[in-house]
A and B are shown apart, each in its own frame.
Chain A
């Protein structure tokens, strides 16, 4: 029997990426040479931002009247794909798992960017898939890999990712059509063809090996906009960090010092370092690896610079931020841009600035009558106007008052309690100290979210940490507590309703409050 095999191409694209059009382009290129080809797809409701696949077969054989035509398949088959095209990295990995990328024959063309799955986005902390594993799977399972951030290339070229991927497909050289045929297919689109071609040439150059594959990611550091103003006193703090703290903590402690200074003043920054002192000493005594100190430094800085209305106003009125907001609108620099902030201050925000003696009864009354969130005023503040901007700038100027406010004392008390626990735990068993330090990660969010975070934090301290620290047991006991605390902390971040935390605490034989 004669055996002519088709080149099989499977494309996995997400809704709105133009996978259908890309398929049309490939068919048009094949038809230009009168080649036997076929394509099919499963859009259906999957087009609503789900993943969609397109399957194409191209024979290196011309259609001729009277000559028998091949029977073409409508399903891709595991282990039978010559070219797998994935418009996103997790989709490439999924294709590997489904057997559509095999080291004996598949060329994998994939974009290295991530378009996060809802499961990854919804997490209360960081639920993202491990990118290194995804990339590794792509590299190991394919015979040949053509990979780059095609999504960024598409943005840069002002086009859609399908054009860039088409370039990579053409450049991979597996399909029996010359690059020019693909080019002509794109040009046939007319509108937007120029931008599409720019993207196409980028994809082509990647496939031809002119761009390095799977570039290592460099973590983007924040623009140093929050950098403090030069000050002699700050210099002495720097010297103190260098002198007192181990090098592996420097980056975070310096950043933390700068943050607390920027947030309040030099005294506050000094207080930050003072607070870290005991934890550092405890870890040094326990001969720890200073991870606890570094992580405490991280979460303490964030906690001390908690986001109250003053802080939000401060961030939103920086020149750098104003410029970024204008730039983000997407126009030319001179174009007019209107900026609207969505603020909704309420009782919490008001009370955070009142002295405790006034705030405490007010909040207690609100909680008793269920009115904690009843007085919020929704503001659509136009900060592109002078009046709107001045309003916000004035709020930022309230910094001097912060120390007198109720929230300040509440937060300071809670973080002091946490620091004492970190120190005490580190002395008993370094791994427990580390876990208590990590609890600092729980504290975040605004209004309701923040109250929930705080509640969870206090609960872990009350039920797990403090009772353990009140005992004097051997290292094994504290290691077990550390493990339990890690589990409970993860559970606290599993769902906003606190169901997972309740179940987990119950499983670990800790008391569960009736109201959760």
Chain B
């Protein structure tokens, strides 16, 4: 990582009575240390990356507490780590982004769940769901149900969250089961506060090691034992979990003065629902509500007693459950039917089946529920709320009319200077000559190549699966196909699922491994191929090349991403060569954000020390640019944009390079490789030039000033033109 988490690390050291103020995911991290974990692992991804990142920087603290930190190479590796708690009373936690990470981890999780744990084992799930999500929209709830893992969904305030983290370990131990805690993206990023406790040291830890291995067939999911374990799950662990949840009041009940209706909600939705209720006069700011609320901080398993108690005597209950299928609502109906309680259940009939439950969605659903049920004495309030909704719809309609068009979205794209952008420009150029072929995309920053202006990548089915996902189509496609994989995906599983499998099956495609030295999309974590040589020496690390040779790759070429013309040539060669077998192009260039973080500091230091530093920047001659914007269509760089044409005659905006340009050189390369236009030029501002360079520059300036065409004086033609125009009016 090029980023430092010094201040965050400090807040992990807080003791009893101190006030922690900071981000949600950091609070969870502190909660883990307060629970006495002995091992922590995980795979980065939004929104939980910081949990691991901060702990990496907190090495002295971790050493002191004896906590082992594993920066796992995949979620499968992280999930399997929880096996430590099967045999030993040792607490541990792992984290990843869900549902994609849970998918990857679930083989291990199923088996650990079968064996059961005796030490508290907790999984922190970052839910990348809804607005701004980068992954498919599925629920973690399904995993909880199928593997008998308990799922926590705390009220989104730091005190509740941290308290529940601690309880999660106790619940895990009391029921010998894995416990998952799901945290929505806004919760992970919320800045709040809570009163800290001292960190705990595990009884077993790096500082106090085990010496005897534990063996029992009952801890192994082997034939003859899995059935017995299944019985344990249902007859012992589940009841124990329900009892613990009940005894410790993990779910909360908030009273209200209406005895006709009630609301059951997932803990994570509590704050949203309360604010909506406050807005329409059903609650105050401090959570005092007119309608009773049952808040499920544990969404699986359900506690039937609490549910029947809450619903008994009520005419109608609203189930607020985000995501689909409506697992909780189905369960709720089953529980109530069994107990013969006839409160009518509303849920997905007044709320949308899928999608994020934003405040606006909740407001409409809540009003819809009240309108159907019409509890006594709430008519006036319902009418006013409906008017409020109509008024807002009216405002939106007016705004739409005023703007006159739907403003297109700002899709994520490669950063300024990103080394992956030139790769896609090269593919586009190669396509011009060879025609388009099928491109199997992958997950990572390079998946932004699927957006305009490139629109390259016909499928994208999972992290590291670029090559594996091409095998069916490659065999059935008349042209050689291309697969893309980042170095992150390569180590996550691409080497085995893709490359090893391809050599084994004599595949004949082209694989582009984009090597930028980090898992950049998740926050610049290092990789197995950048661990030995940090400091961005991407081109000097040969780990990927060696691994490829090791599994039998013969045709392998390494290219510098920014040399677009050359990359296009190598691509064409790979696509057309008569040589059989998988052709691998290693496209390298260090992540520009990470590089800039480092280089800017280095440059500043060098300039201050009087050493020569040349700072490059690209520019465009306004008068040479004709405003066709083909450069933009081949690049999409955020720093390459348009501006009002300064020429009176021209109508179309001209291309321009703004100050954020880092001088990566792509503009020049593209205008060469695509034979675009001669508008681009590069300037290099030289700091601390040597005496000879300085003198030469002075001489050159004087000579060039004499050679150059001087600006003409203001001419009568133009000046009187204005005067005439005025006179004519």
Contact = CB atoms under 8 A, between A and B. Distances in A.
Nearest to A225: B711
A441 interface: yes
A332 to B, nearest CB: 9
Contacts of A134: 403
A470 interface: no
A80 B729 contact: no
Interface stretch (B140-148, B228-236, B507-515, B680-688): B680-688
A122 B453 contact: yes
B174 interface: no
Contact of B191 (A3, A38, A43, A446): A38
B384 interface: no
B46 to A, nearest CB: 4
Interface stretch (A320-328, A404-412, A413-421, A472-480): A320-328
A24 to B, nearest CB: 8
A42 B132 contact: yes
Interface in B646-688: 646-653, 659-660, 667-668, 671-672, 674-678, 680-687
B399 A78 contact: no
Contact of A247 (B133, B403, B724): B724
Contact of A221 (B391, B648, B675): B648
Nearest to A38: B192
B621 interface: yes
Contacts of B668: 340, 342, 380
Contacts of A221: 646, 648
Interface in A80-112: 80, 90, 93-94, 96-99, 101-103
A124 interface: yes
Contact of A129 (B358, B407, B648, B707): B407
Interface stretch (A164-172, A195-203, A227-235, A283-291): A227-235
Interface in A104-150: 115-126, 128-130, 133-134, 136-137, 140-141
B413 A118 contact: yes
A329 B186 contact: no
Interface in A478-511: 496
Given A68-B286, A123-B629, A254-B721, A346 B675 contact: yes
A335 B408 contact: no
A472 to B, nearest CB: 33
Interface in B605-660: 614-615, 617, 619, 621-624, 626-630, 632-633, 636, 638, 640-642, 644, 646-653, 659-660
A116 B642 contact: yes
B238 interface: no
Contacts of B684: 329, 337-340
Nearest to B720: A238
Contacts of A24: 191
Interface size class of A (residues with CB under 8 A): 35 or more
Interface residues of B, number: 141
A339 B682 contact: yes
A132 B682 CA distance: 35
A389 interface: yes
B4 interface: no
Interface in B677-728: 677-678, 680-687, 689, 693-694, 697, 699-700, 703-705, 707-718, 720-721, 724-725, 728
B124 interface: no
Interface in A1-28: 1-6, 14-16, 23-24, 27
A106 to B, nearest CB: 10
Contact of A340 (B192, B628, B633, B681): B681
Contact of A235 (B404, B647, B716): B716
B372 interface: no
B521 interface: yes
Contact of A257 (B629, B714, B717): B717
Interface of A is mostly: mixed
B563 to A, nearest CB: 11
A434 interface: no
B675 A71 contact: no
A317 B707 contact: yes
B173 interface: no
A74 interface: yes
A251 B413 contact: no
A136 B403 CA distance: 8
A55 B718 CA distance: 53
Interface string B270-310: 11101110110001111110000000000000000000000
Contact of B672 (A116, A155, A342): A342
Contacts of B642: 116, 120-121, 128
Contacts of B636: 118, 122
A141 B403 CA distance: 11
A364 interface: no
13 contacts: A39-B191, A70-B286, A77-B276, A117-B408, A224-B715, A227-B713, A234-B715, A325-B683, A337-B684, A342-B681, A344-B678, A383-B681, A445-B628
Given A71-B157, A78-B360, A128-B653, 16 more contacts: A71-B278, A75-B275, A126-B653, A221-B646, A221-B648, A225-B712, A227-B712, A227-B714, A228-B715, A247-B725, A307-B626, A316-B681, A322-B704, A328-B683, A330-B615, A446-B676
